Each structure stands twice: as structure tokens, then as C-alpha cells.
């Protein structure tokens, strides 16, 4: 189990997600009993989300730079998948395709 006893206000926590890449939460404060308060819930010092059900327990842990980058990438992919491309102007779609092609060419 993760140990959150050393986190401070302003630190980032990584919370894995079932359907997306998880989320990054900012520690807003630490209570006198050691609970970690974030914008999306309160965590026990052992990382468990207060109020999580027994069958689907949510744990947080200190976020690494890799966690932060993976969540960022996951949100980008989710946004792309959710885009209603028929509502995007042809000019914008063409610009996106050109951007993707140039990025692919730079990698090669």
C-alpha cells in the first residue's frame, strides 16, 4: 500500500483510473489526523480514498513525472476520441492532418 505520510500541501497525487489513465490531484491540506485533502476527495495516510467501496478501492500515491505525463497523454487521446469530427471545419481537419504528418516525419 502507498505511504502518504510524507506528502505536503501542494504535492501531486496519482490516482489510477479504471477507464482512463487516472488523474493527478493536488494536496490542498493535511488534517491533524493525517488525512490528505484534495480537490476530489480525502485520502487516509495509507493512500486509501475515504468512502471508497470495499470492492473497488481507490488508492492515491505520490505522483511521479511519468505519472503526470501518462495522465496528460491519456487526456489528449480521450479528447481526440471524443471529438465529433463532422463538426470540425474542413480547414481545421486539414491543418490537424498536416500537423500529424509533420510530427510523424520528424520522428522518422
Q: What share of the chain is helix, strand, coil (3-state, %, to 5)?
A: 35, 20, 45
pLDDT in tens, 16-70: 987 678 899 999 999 999 999 999 899 999 999 998 766 666 889 999 999 999 9
Cell of 79: 479528447
Residue 105's pLDDT is: 82
Residue 56's pLDDT is: 67
| Rounded mean pLDDT, 62-91 | 93
pTM (whole model) above 0.75:
yes
| Lowest-confidence region among 43-47, 52-56, 88-92, 102-106 | 52-56
Using DSSP, state whether 32 is helix, strand or coil: coil
What does the alpha-carbon distance between residue 96 and residue 88 come to, in Å, rounded to a whole number? 10
Look at residues 86, 3, 103 and name the one whose alpha carbon lies nearest to residue 47: 3
Residue 92's pLDDT is: 93
Using DSSP, state whether 20 is helix, strand or coil: coil
Amino acid at each position: 500500500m502507498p505511504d502518504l505520510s510524507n506528502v505536503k500541501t501542494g504535492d501531486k497525487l496519482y490516482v489510477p483510473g479504471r477507464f482512463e489513465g487516472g488523474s493527478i490531484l493536488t494536496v490542498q491540506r493535511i488534517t491533524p489526523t493525517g488525512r490528505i485533502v484534495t480537490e476530489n476527495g480525502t485520502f487516509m495516510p495509507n493512500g486509501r480514498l475515504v468512502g471508497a467501496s470495499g470492492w473497488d478501492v481507490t488508492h492515491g500515491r505520490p505522483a511521479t513525472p511519468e505519472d503526470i505525463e501518462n495522465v496528460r497523454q491519456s487526456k489528449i487521446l480521450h479528447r481526440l476520441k471524443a471529438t465529433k469530427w463532422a463538426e470540425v471545419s474542413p480547414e481545421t481537419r486539414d491543418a490537424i492532418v498536416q500537423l500529424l504528418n509533420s510530427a510523424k516525419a520528424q520522428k522518422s
